[in-house]
Structure formats: C-alpha cells, structure tokens
Structure 1
Amino acid sequence: MKNKIRPATSIHYRVEVADAHAHLFRVTLTIPLPAAEQRVALPVWIPGSYLVREFSKNLQCLEARQGSRKTVPAEQLDKCTWQIRCDPTTPLVLTYEVHARDSSVRTAWLDADRGFFNGTSLCLRVEGHEHAPHALELPAPKALAGWAVATGLTAQKVDKRGFGTYVAADYDELVDCPVEMGTFWSGTFSACGVPHRFVVAGAAATLDGDRLLADTRKICEAEIRFWHGSKKPPYKSYLFMLNAVDDGYGGLEHRNSTALICNRKDLPRLGEPKPSEGYTTLRGLISHEYFHTWNVKRLRPGEFDSYHYDRENYTGLLWFFEGFTSYYDDLLLRRAGLLDNAAYLKLLNKTINQVMQTPGRLVQSVAQASFDAWVKYYRPDENTPNATVSYYTKGALVALCFDLTLRSESRPAQGASAGATLDDVMRALWQRCKAGPMHEADFEQALLTLGHRSYAPELARWVHGRAELPLKELLQQHGVAVFEEPAQLAQRLGLRVGESQGVQIKAVLRGGVAEQAGFAAGDEWLGLEPAGSARTRHAGQPDGWRMSRLDDLLLYAGTAKKVVALVSRDKRLMRLELAMPPALTTWRLAVQDAGLVDQWLAPQA
C-alpha cells in the first residue's frame, strides 16, 4: 500500500549519480512552500557517531532558482548553512553536488561499482519544514546497468530493482534510512514473523550466504524475544547492509536498518567446517547493531529526545546505551546457540583484559567518558590509553557487574522461581520510558524496584567513580574461575607497539618501566646493549644487538636487570636506560561450576 503523502507540501530530494568516476552525486531539492528568507543546512554529525564531521566540506556548486529557471542568490551564513531570499508563493529548487569518497558507514561513497549514502551527508535540512513529509527520488543510472537499491525507507513508486520514489514522515526518518546501490548479493529471511533482508557488497564468490542468513536469523529471534517475548518488534521490516572490504570494521545503527563494514575474509565461506574468529567477531557486530534497534534508537538518552544536527549533542549515558549493548551483543550470541560457554568467556576475557590494560580507567569515569566522546573517543592519540576509558568496553563490564550482582542478591532457594536480572531491568526500562527518552534516574529506579534496594552506591562507584570493578568476586560467585597468568611483554613494559617494520612505539602507558626510561610515542626501538658495568666487552661478545621484534629483548638481555635501549627519535639516536620489566599478570577465565554458569549464560527456556 502506498504511503499517504501530500506531494504539494512534501520536501522532495532527487539524488542522481552525476559522475561515478569523479565520485559525485547530484542532488535536486524542491521546497514547495519556502519561507521568504529560507534557510537550509547540512548536518555536522550523524546520530550514533559522536563526532562533528563537517559533512558540508563535500558539498559544492550550490545554486537556487524559482519559476522559469530564474536564479536567486544563496548566501552562505556559516560552515553548513545557507539562506535564500525568495518568493514564498513559488517553489524553490536547489541543486548541488556532493563528493562521496568515504567508505565508512557514516558518510557517502560513489564509484562505478557501488553507491552508498546517509541522508546526513547529502540532504540539506530545510529549516521550518523538518516535520513535513519528505520524499526521496532515486532515478536509475543509465550508465550503470544491473544496479539495484536497498533502503529502509518506505517505497512509494519503485521498479523491480528498487529505483524510484521513497517517502519519510519527516527529516529525522529520511536521514535515519541509509541507501545502498550497486550489484550486491541479497538474501531474505523471516524472524518471529517479520521480514528481514541482508545485502552484501564486495563479497567474494566463496560467500556462504545461507549460513549468514541462518545465523543472523537466530540473532534476530533471540533479541526480539529478549525484548518482547512472543510479541512483534517495533518495525515492519528490517535491512542489513554490509560492505565487505580488504580491511575495515564497524557499524552504525538505524531505526529499521543498519550499515556494516567488515573484512572480506571474515565472511562465512562455503565448505568452511567451523566459524572463523573473524566471523565470530562479525556476528557480534551484527548482534550489537541489531540490539541498538531498541537500546538507543527508541529507548534513548533524554538529551536525544530531539536531535540538533548543527552541533554536538552531549549525554553522560553512552556507558549505558553503548556499553550495555556491548555486554548483550556477545551474550545474546550465546543465548542464540551460536557460542558455547567457553567461547563466550573467551570474548569476555578479552574485554576485561583490554580495560585492565588501560591506565585511563583510573583517570576518567565511564560517565565522563560518555560526555567527552565528542572530543576524546573519536580523536585518539598516543595519550588516549593514559587519559581515557572506553564507554564501550568498561560500560560492558559495568553491565556485567549489575547483572551478576542482581543475580547474586536475588538468587532463589532451590525450587523457587528465578530472581531479578539485568534482562528484567532492560525490559522494565522499555516499559517505564515508553520506548522513548531515558534518564539515569530511570535506571536507578528500575534497579530499586527489581532489586529491592538502592543501587546508588554502585552507580557512584562503578559509573561516576574510577575505582576498580569487583569483577573477580562476582565471576567466581557465578561459577567462573579466574586465573592469573603471565602478561605479554608489551604490557609488562607498558608499551603499545607495531612490528611490521621493526619495533615502532605507538603509545607509552602511564607508570610502566618504558615511561620511566623515557620512551615516547613515535620512537623506533632499534636495538639494545648492556647497561652500566655490564658494558665491558668480553671476547667474541658484541657491543649490542639489533632488534626486529619486541621479544628480541628477552633473547638478548638474558639475566640482566637493566639494558640500554637504542632508540631513533626524530632521526636522532638516543640511549635510554631501561629496567627489565616486572612479572605482571593477565586474566584467563574458565568454567568452574557448569551449573552456575548455565544459570547465567545458557539460552532461556
């Protein structure tokens, strides 16, 4: 059935392939009833990715006209806003081009093989008309035979390949439905009675599409049932858009679709006996972005009740909306039957060690990390691990702590019904906030109601504080053994390095022996020689050793307590006296009590 829309008053965009080799889209924007001084603006960010990206840098050749092709001046007011003085009784038509050469999920791409765009990169927002119906027309490019279209927008009049006109209730919906174009692979499945489509661009001939669809269906059904039981989800259909490339990873959630990017080699392959580690990571990404359909696209920070596209939109709740989603993405793979307990604990183990190896966890709270996302998380440098903590990874561990604490405190007597869990809290928040804006006070109240006590102390320590989380105690209470094992050499030194061409220092971690010796990010570690009195040369013994990888340190240092590191910095050769690193440890998780672990992890009946 066609979407009911008043063409005379709708904002209309026509997006054409102007020149695929020049990577140019041409956009024609028609405003039926403009203001006398009509303003239009291109967003500076895209919801779900908290960085001002200045999309207007790619816009060029803006022209405005009315009536019989009469040109009217368009005055640029700032970096992303234009004002057109015009006759309000005559439709205003704007034309412009957008250069599209960003292969990420956040912006736009166009070449002779593929087209992709988010509305925030191409569609000027018409001030005063944001809540009017919007239409998007996609004419088939004549020079690119065989192309098709995939989008979550509602089709109004399209051909069998998807080219034609789509409609949206308002600007928010328009820019929340990205568009994929090209000769992609496509498959469909039904999850809990709802149609889903999966399209993949750039896949090799070895793609096992049946396996991808079957696994994704299990994920979708597990998450629909998590939120709604036997009821239907809050959308009529859903679209996955995956771009397979040589090297890339990421995703961006939307209200009834998601855009994904992965390494081509991580796709499931025909004849592959068991999932690769890369494919397990891809399934976790699929699970993560799909969970966002509920947790951030509908249940969302109160500050996101309405978006401001021209500036930063601050919230201190990304630890909940990204972190808790990061907790559930792998957990729901387990409940969907795509992981066993040991495989799940291996993924959790990786997250724990990532956080524990980040000195910034003792400097920045996860709530502050959420607020600072605009200036810190998306702009990493060599000091990032010392000054910040990820609201994804630590937020996931905060979710783990709340879940296991609730389970411990409400663990029923033998034969009694199960007590409260974080699952119950999430569903209670969905009901309490009516699938809409949420504040931290709502989370605190849901914990109080279901946990029968105040969790304000935990919120203060785990979310707003910088103390270590009680992970070991809680995991052991739920049947997980925690073993301390020798850490990797880089961690013991307090370094993050690259070893593709010698030993390149990427980051020097706070408090480590490398920092004490004077190492700096950007150094090239060339070699080592004995320190102090050990420099006395013995017959046949070289003065020093050339290093090609970090482990050479242990080979050549022997039993020495100190060595001299030979370092190149800004083309200068330096000698840094380095104490041999202490015996630090890292964690390894294992199932100790299978019954207790199953109560937490096993698929729900």
Structure 2
Amino acid sequence: MPDRHTANARHSAPPAIHYRISATEPYAHIYHVQLTVAHPAAGQQLALPVWIPGSYLVREFSRNLHSLQATQDGRPVTVTALAKNRWQTDCTADAPLVLEYRVYAFDNSVRTAWLDDARGFFNATSLCLRVLGQEDAQHVLLVPPPSQHVAAAEGGTAWQLATALQPVSIDDRGFGEYRAGGYDELADSPVEMGAFWSGSFEACGVPHRFVVAGAGPRFDGERLLADARRICETAIRFWHPDIDQGGQPPHDRYVFLLNAVGSGYGGLEHRHSTALICSRADLPRQGDAPQPDGYGTLLGLISHEYFHTWNVKRMRPTQFARYDYDQENYTELLWFFEGFTSYYDDLLLRRAGLLDDAGYLKLLGKTLHQVAQTPGRQVQSVAQASFDAWVKYYRQDENTANLTVSYYTKGALVALCLDLSLRQQGRTDLDAVMRALWQRSQGGPISEDDVLQALQALSGQDWRAPLAAWVHGTDELPLGPLLARQGITLGHKTPGWALRLGIQVQERSGASPVLRRIQSGSLAEQAGLAVHDEWLGVRLPGGSQDAADNGSQAWRLTALDDLETLLPAGTQRFDALLARDGRLLWRTVALDGLDAPDIPGSAAAAQGEVELGIADAGRLQDWLGKPAAAR
C-alpha cells in the first residue's frame, strides 16, 4: 500500500532524467539499469564517474559496466565509446532516448556497489550514467522490489530500502521512486536494500534513521540509537549553539547506513547520510556485560562522518565547489577537512559523555604515537599529503610510512596545536574559529586564506608563520609544551624490540612472522633486513654459523619480543636468521647505535606507546569542558 509519500504529480510531465535500477540477478551480482532521457541532445553524450567524492582515488567504475545499448522510438541507436568512461549516442533531439546496460556489483565497501541474495547497496556514481549537459535537471530514481526468490533466500524476510533521497511514490518497504535535484544530489545519496534492522530518533528536532545490515541476535539497537542521538545532538549544538533559540542545522533529515561484516571498518560521508562498515563483533550487545572495545571505535566513526555534514559536505575546499567526476580534483586542504574532523570526532564523544577523560587521552595518545612512528612526516608536509592523496594515501605499500604522512592524524594534531594555542592565549578557541568559518562561508567553499582570516579576526594575531611551519613544513609540532601548559604529562612506555629495530611484523598462525615494514634509516634497514623477509630466529653471541647449520642450539627460533631476555646485557650485535625468496640468510644487526637520537630505529627515536597523564585536572577541564551526564 503506498504511504503518505505518494506523489501528487502523477499526471505531470515525466522527469528529464529517469533511472530504473533492478536487482534481478543477485547470484550473478548484476544490476540492470534502464536510463530514459526525456529530451536528449542530438548525439547525446553520457559518462560514468571515475571516482566518488570523499574517497580520493580514481577507481574506474566503468570497468564494471557492460552490455550498453540504446533505442529511440523503439529503433536501435548506435553507441560509440569516446573514452574509458564516456559514450556518444547517434540519436536525434526529437524523442526520448532509452539506454539499457548491466553493472557488476561485488565490492562490499562503502564506495561502490554490492548485490547478492542477502543484501543490495549502491552509490549512483557506480551505476548511473551522467547525461552530459543535463546534470542540473531533475533526476528520478526508481527501484522496484526485488524478485520473490531473493526474499526466500533470507528465510522469507521481506527486503526493505533505505536512502536519504526524497521519496516521490514508494511502498511501505521503501521501494519505488525517489527524486534528486540534479546528478550531484543523486551521486551523494547511497541506497541500502535488504532485510536490515531499522530504528529512528530525533536530534535537536531533526529526524534521523539508523539502518544496520548483518546484525546478530544479541545486537542492542536501542543502545546504538541512544548513543548516536547523543553524538548528533552534540555535533548540532557545536555548530549551532543557538539551536534552542531558533537556530537551524543545514539538514532536515539524516540516514545512517551501517553494514556489519565479519571484519571491516570505514565510512563515507554524504550531505544527508553516511555509509558505514564495521565488524559485527563491534556492535553493542544486549545485557549487562561490558560492551566490546570496538564499539567505542564505531562511535568514533559515527561522530567523524556526522561532523562531515558541515565540514566537507557543505563547507568545503574551493576546488570542490563543483565536482569534476571525470578526473582527480586536487586540494591541499584535506588536513583541515579530514584532519580537523578527526580532531573533533573523539573530542565530541568526550563532550557527549560517551568517553571519560582517561579514555579520551588514551585515544589522543594513540594519534600522537601513530604520527611519531611515521618517518614520512619529515619528508612530506601535511598540505602535500592532501594534494598527493590520489596517488599516495589511497595506494599505500610497504614504503608509504617512510615517504608520506597522514592528513587525518597529523591534521588532527595541527588542530590540537591550534586549539591549545588559542585557548592559552585567552581570547578564543578553535570551536569559535570553526563556527566563524561556517558563518563566513554560509556553508559553502573556503580557502586557506579564509582560515587565516578567521584566526586573525578572533585571536588578533597573524597565524601565517605557524601554519607555514605546521602545515606546509615538516618541523615537529610543539605538542609537548602545549600539552604541559594544559595540565597534561606526556610519557612513553618502553618500546619493544620490533619498534627499536624499526620494523613491523605480520604474525601468522603456525608460521614465522613476516617483516611488513622497515623504517627508513633504522637499525633494521642498516643491517640489510627487507620487507617480506621471514623472521626465523637469532644466533646467540658466541655461537657459530657452522653450528647453526649443523642443527645445534647455537641459534634459536624466537619472537622479537623475546630478545629482551635472550640477549645478554651489553650486547653490541646479534645475527638474525631470515628466509628470503625460499633461501636462508644471516644478517648482523649492530646495536651500538641503539641510543642514537638521529637513528629512527634507536631507543631514543623509536619511543614506545604514548602515555598521557593528568597533572592539573582544572586546566584539563578548561579545554575538554564538562561532559554531558553519563549514561
């Protein structure tokens, strides 16, 4: 039975652009798409995006599109490929153009499309061809209910559909027609289908819906709704402190689309929704038992993507004022839009009462440690990292950490330095700067100059030099002094041997660990250890290689952390036994430089996990503020 969203304009003119997307081949993971262009141009061209906004990598979505054909007045129309993602039709301008094609959908991420007999999901950037020249016309998306055998495969449970698009005429399960004001809105509105769990709440008067696919029987949906509501209300009040006096957030609805899987984590922001993925084990559980550790991480992800509702989806880099879907869109400002969002995601959890001070400082210490253990921070500025995201951040390999820095983590620390510096000067804080930028831009594009002007207007100081050093340079950030003045002590745990040597290992069940990363300039690199080497053991001081080859106990299979007790005090070197390309080899690791501060793998440089303590609770509260009442 149609619900209240049934359109009043049934007899109005057909939409300019109409898509029908059918999940008729779930076992083949194929969507059928029919695109009708009511008023095509002569020789109408069409294109499929090569990337999706928010995920800065050319993903070549057209590789999954096939069987493209077109008709006009029932007659075949020739379709000619012009480029990897662009086609031209030999049509006239006097009749509707109908195109039909198929899209393979088997990427279980938030970025593309998925279809099987248990679930469907898609972003329009993966399925919907752009009608060039008509991107700003009204677009209508029709998704009919799937065939009966799909529901039967899930034990007879009926599928539902969820999306943030505005409904035109839908049934009580959400299937039917939706509208978008243009292609940008269509591309910014993912669609979830399946036998999912669904709940709703209001935050500061804005209706929110939370959809969870793949939840287990002990899933505590009410807990998730309550915590998500606190996050959303805290974020809305952050950006709109006048909300109780009539202030208005920029969105009139919001939908969380969460896919719970065996193992996974990530999110992609949209103007009225977000697509999330998490491990099923991280969902909140019913009962009085402690919640899984990963649930806190999930709440941080929710907070991060929701903050993007303002910071990047509306207030955004000037280079993103209008997306170019055919190629990379470069900006040096991801340190601000992703990094500052990463600073506030956990901070707002603390303000919402979902984290205590110790929990917040633990997460902040983790970020400090991650950046400290990235040698690339001394090679690449965080502004360069933003620009290079297309070829470096999303194409990581074993050497990435040696050459690049994350605009998420270092960007968050730049925000921390700015916030503490502003607070300690006593005139303003970063919260006020963010709100001033929102007002200045009216929720639109901004540049780095806008950030500098807002900082100067509120603080009375010129911030060009600090930003040049922190954002465009590779100098160390003044974190220690700033934290100390805010009542926080900064210490380090004793590093393990892997960290001292400058390596990361991949543990394997029933097999020797494999070296997965070697820090540039480290003791491991100087000794000739290489990525993909298997770590087999060490030769004890005084042993002989001949003895080892003859099978004596002069060498031992040992984990790296066992070196602490295995090596005698004062040992200057040891021999590591490795396997490389199916061959055994020895490498001598010299320890005489272990305490040299200029060697990344030394004890001085390779500090252990960061530990932040509270020296002055009053000054800490001046920064973190009083949290909302605990649950």
- Asked if these proteins are the same fold (TM beyond 0.5), I'd say yes
Q: 1:123 aligns with which of 102, 120, 128?
A: 128
Aligned pairs (5 A) from 1:306-321: 306-321=322-337
Deviation track 1:554-586 (CA, whole Å, cap 9, x = no partner) reads 343333321111111111221110124543433
Q: 1:481 aligns with which of 484, 489, 492?
A: 489
Please tell me whether residue 512 in structure 1 is matched to residue 528 in structure 2. Answer: no
Please tell me whether residue 202 in structure 1 is matched to residue 202 in structure 2. Answer: no
Please tell me whether residue 244 in structure 1 is matched to residue 260 in structure 2. Answer: yes
Q: Which residue of 2 aligns with 1:113?
A: 118
Is 229-238 or 481-490 further displaced after alignment? 481-490
Report the AA paired with residue 106 of structure 2. R
Please tell me whether the aligned partners of residues 497 and 563 of structure 2 are also in contact (alpha carbons under 8 angstroms). Answer: no
Please tell me whether residue 24 in structure 1 is matched to residue 30 in structure 2. Answer: yes
Q: Helix, strand or coil for the counterpart of 1:499?
A: strand
Please tell me whether residue 56 in structure 1 is matched to residue 67 in structure 2. Answer: no
Please tell me whether residue 142 in structure 1 is matched to residue 147 in structure 2. Answer: yes
Q: Helix, strand or coil for the counterpart of 1:115?
A: strand
Report the AA paired with residue 519 of structure 1. L
Is 558-567 or 26-35 further displaced after alignment? 558-567
Q: Which residue of 2 aligns with 1:597?
A: 620
* Aligned-partner Cα distance in 2 for 1:484–1:470: 17
Q: Which residue of 1 aligns with 2:387?
A: 371
* Aligned-partner Cα distance in 1 for 2:519–2:493: 20
Please tell me whether the aligned partners of residues 336 and 603 of structure 1 are also in contact (alpha carbons under 8 angstroms). Answer: no
Please tell me whether the aligned partners of residues 508 and 515 of structure 1 are also in contact (alpha carbons under 8 angstroms). Answer: yes
Q: Shift in Å at residue 533 of structure 1?
A: 7.6
Q: Helix, strand or coil for the counterpart of 2:539?
A: strand
Please tell me whether the aligned partners of residues 538 and 574 of structure 2 are also in contact (alpha carbons under 8 angstroms). Answer: yes
Report the AA paired with residue 602 of structure 1. G
Report the AA paired with residue 285 of structure 1. L
Report the AA paired with residue 418 of structure 2. F
Considering only aligned residues, what root-mean-square deviation do their CA atoms show, in Å? 1.7
Please tell me whether residue 393 in structure 1 is matched to residue 409 in structure 2. Answer: yes
Q: 1:422 aligns with which of 426, 430, 448?
A: 430
The change in CA–CA distance for 1:316 and 1:532 in structure 2 (over 3 A counts) is farther
Superposition TM-score, scaled by structure 2 size = 0.92
Mark the runs of 5 or more structure 1 residues left unpaired by the alignment: 411-418
Please tell me whether the aligned partners of residues 503 and 550 of structure 1 are also in contact (alpha carbons under 8 angstroms). Answer: no
Please tell me whether the aligned partners of residues 573 and 588 of structure 2 are also in contact (alpha carbons under 8 angstroms). Answer: yes
Q: Helix, strand or coil for the counterpart of 1:468?
A: coil
Q: Which residue of 2 aligns with 1:503?
A: 513
Report the AA paired with residue 484 of structure 1. H
Please tell me whether the aligned partners of residues 533 and 578 of structure 2 are also in contact (alpha carbons under 8 angstroms). Answer: yes
Please tell me whether the aligned partners of residues 543 and 555 of structure 2 are also in contact (alpha carbons under 8 angstroms). Answer: no
Please tell me whether residue 446 in structure 1 is matched to residue 451 in structure 2. Answer: no
Please tell me whether the aligned partners of residues 224 and 232 of structure 1 are also in contact (alpha carbons under 8 angstroms). Answer: no
* Aligned-partner Cα distance in 1 for 2:288–2:403: 42
Q: Shift in Å at residue 437 of structure 1?
A: 0.3
* Aligned-partner Cα distance in 1 for 2:622–2:545: 60
Q: Which residue of 1 aligns with 2:603?
A: 583
Please tell me whether the aligned partners of residues 3 and 167 of structure 1 are also in contact (alpha carbons under 8 angstroms). Answer: no
Q: Helix, strand or coil for the counterpart of 1:180?
A: strand
Aligned pairs (5 A) from 1:118-517: 118-143=123-148, 144-145=150-151, 146-229=158-241, 230=243, 231-410=247-426, 419-500=427-508, 501-517=511-527
* Aligned-partner Cα distance in 2 for 1:573–1:379: 31
Report the AA paired with residue 441 of structure 1. D
Q: Which residue of 2 aligns with 1:99?
A: 104
Q: Helix, strand or coil for the counterpart of 2:586?
A: strand
* Aligned-partner Cα distance in 2 for 1:171–1:95: 18
Q: Which residue of 2 aligns with 1:571?
A: 582
* Aligned-partner Cα distance in 1 for 2:47–2:627: 48
Instruction: Indicate the percent of aligned positions where both proteins have the same amino acid.
Output: 57
Report the AA paired with residue 476 of structure 2. E
Please tell me whether residue 44 in structure 1 is matched to residue 50 in structure 2. Answer: yes
Please tell me whether the aligned partners of residues 64 and 104 of structure 2 are also in contact (alpha carbons under 8 angstroms). Answer: yes
* Aligned-partner Cα distance in 1 for 2:306–2:23: 30
* Aligned-partner Cα distance in 2 for 1:179–1:95: 20
Q: Helix, strand or coil for the counterpart of 2:560?
A: coil
Q: Shift in Å at residue 472 of structure 1?
A: 0.7
* Aligned-partner Cα distance in 2 for 1:358–1:579: 22
Report the AA paired with residue 91 of structure 1. P
Deviation track 1:305-351 (CA, whole Å, cap 9, x = no partner) reads 00000000000000000000000000000000101111000000000
Please tell me whether the aligned partners of residues 134 and 167 of structure 1 are also in contact (alpha carbons under 8 angstroms). Answer: yes
Report the AA paired with residue 414 of structure 2. V
Please tell me whether the aligned partners of residues 543 and 554 of structure 2 are also in contact (alpha carbons under 8 angstroms). Answer: no
Q: Shift in Å at residue 604 of structure 1?
A: 6.9
Q: Shift in Å at residue 534 of structure 1?
A: 7.2
Report the AA paired with residue 90 of structure 2. R
The change in CA–CA distance for 1:327 and 1:90 in structure 2 (over 3 A counts) is same
The change in CA–CA distance for 1:24 and 1:272 in structure 2 (over 3 A counts) is farther
